[in-house]
Chain A
Amino acid sequence: MKNEKIHIAPNSEKPYNLIRHILEDKKRIQEAIEKGVPLSSLKGINFVKPVQY
């Protein structure tokens, strides 16, 4: 399907399992914040800022 509104990610790694990836990231993020570890130090997690205050 061709459409400008579809955001296609280039050159992704494979294999890739969406749910497993999200669950693992959630756990890592929670542990990092609890320990005061900067999130920017977490490799492989793509933090985005779609809303800012």
Chain B
Amino acid sequence: MLNQYSISTTEEGYNSFTTDFGLTYFLYFTGYYLKNSNGEDVVVMSLGFYHEPLIVENRKYDPKVKNTILQIITDFFENNKEMSTIYICSTSDGYGRHRRITFNKWYKEVDVPIEKFDCREAQAKEGLYASFFIRSDNQLKDYYVDAFYRSIDEYFPADNEYVAA
């Protein structure tokens, strides 16, 4: 993808890039597991990222940031076709909902066929902005999506329908 920043992987295992405006982004994947209907643990990744400094005054829109993050997500699903990942928007600064809206737009531009499943609306109202990403052509998509909702319902029990975006 053109018009993006150069990405490096540190020995610590996270990816980083620095913008033209002096922000350094850190992106990492951590491993967890979902619960399937048999109570077994199913491996899943979680994507996290943030930038330093955390507080930015007079922020300017930088499309290269979006392109770079999307490149990492594209590479993840290109190289790990059977895997899925969870993304939870940070709410520590009160902008969790804004991040969710932004990410809802971004993921549609990923260069691989992926689908996003959001946590239930009642959970979002409680401040949880979690989404599950998986390739559309993953033959076990339904299995993983079911495990995702089973797992997050342990945190916020609810009875709503799945939300596919």
Are A47's CB and B29's CB within 8 A?
yes
Q: Which residue of B30, B35, B38, B86 is within 8 Å of A45 (Cβ)?
A: B30
Measured between beta carbons, the chain A residues less than 8 angstroms from B41 are 8-10, 12, 16
Measured between beta carbons, the chain B residues less than 8 angstroms from A18 are 32-35, 86, 151-152, 154-155
Instruction: Count contacts on A: residues with CB < 8 A to the other chain.
Output: 36
Interface band, chain B: 35 or more
Question: How far apart are the CA atoms of A50 and B83 in the complex, in Å?
Answer: 10
- Could you list which residues of chain A lie within 8 angstroms of chain B, going by C-beta atoms? 1, 3, 5-10, 12, 16-23, 25-27, 29-30, 33-34, 38-40, 45-53
- Could you list which residues of chain B lie within 8 angstroms of chain A, going by C-beta atoms? 7-9, 12-15, 26, 28-38, 40-43, 45-46, 48, 50, 52, 54, 72, 75-76, 79-80, 82-83, 86, 88, 90, 92, 128, 130, 139-140, 143, 151-152, 154-156
